[in-house]
Amino acid sequence: MILNVDLESEVPIYQQLRDRIMEAIAAGLLVEGSSLPATRTLAADFGINFHTVNKAYDLLRQQGLIRLNRKTGAVVTATSADSPFRADWTARVRTLLAEAIAMGVPVDEVLKTCQFVLDSFGTAQREDAP
C-alpha cells in the first residue's frame, strides 16, 4: 500500500490521506478486513503529526468505511451507500462535471473519462474473490 501524499499541495493532508485510502478501497487494493497502518506509524512514514492521520481515519470512520479498534487498529469494513449519501454525492458530481462542461470539454469526452477512471478501478489486482 503506497499512499501518494503531497505535503506541498493546497489540499489539506488529512483530506489527501482520506482520498487516497478511498481510492485504494475503490480499486480493490484494500478490501473488507484489510488493516491500515497505525496512526503513529503512518505519521512517521510521511513525517507528519499523528493527529493529522487521526483526523483522516476519523473521517473514514464517520463515513463507515473503516472500523477503529484499540490494539487491532483500523480495519476496512463493508459499506452500503445510503440514500442521503447518494443525494449528496450526486450534487457533488454535478458540480464537478459542470466544471468540465463549462470549460469546454465535450460531453462524450467527459463521460469517456469517467468510464476510463471506473475501468482503472476494476483492472487493479483485487483479491476479494473467496
Partner DNA sequence: CTATTTGTTCTATAACTAATAGAGCAAAGG
Partner DNA sequence: CCTTTGCTCTATTAGTTATAGAACAAATAG
Binding residues (CB under 7 A) for DNA: these are 7, 10, 12-15, 36, 38-41, 48-52, 54-55, 57-58, 61, 68-74
- Name the site residues for its own copies (rule: CB under 8 A): 19, 22-23, 25-27, 63-65, 78-81, 85-86, 89-90, 92-105, 107, 110-111, 113-115, 117-118, 120-122
Give the shortest CB-107-to-DNA separation in angstroms. 30
| Inter-residue contact 13 to 5 (CB < 8 Å) | yes
For cell 463493508, name the residue: 78
Residue 93 corresponds to which cell in the numbers above?
458530481
Cβ burial, residue 73 (10 Å; 0-12/13-18/19+): middle
- Identify what 22 binds: DNA, its own copies, none; CB under 5 to 8 Å per kind: its own copies
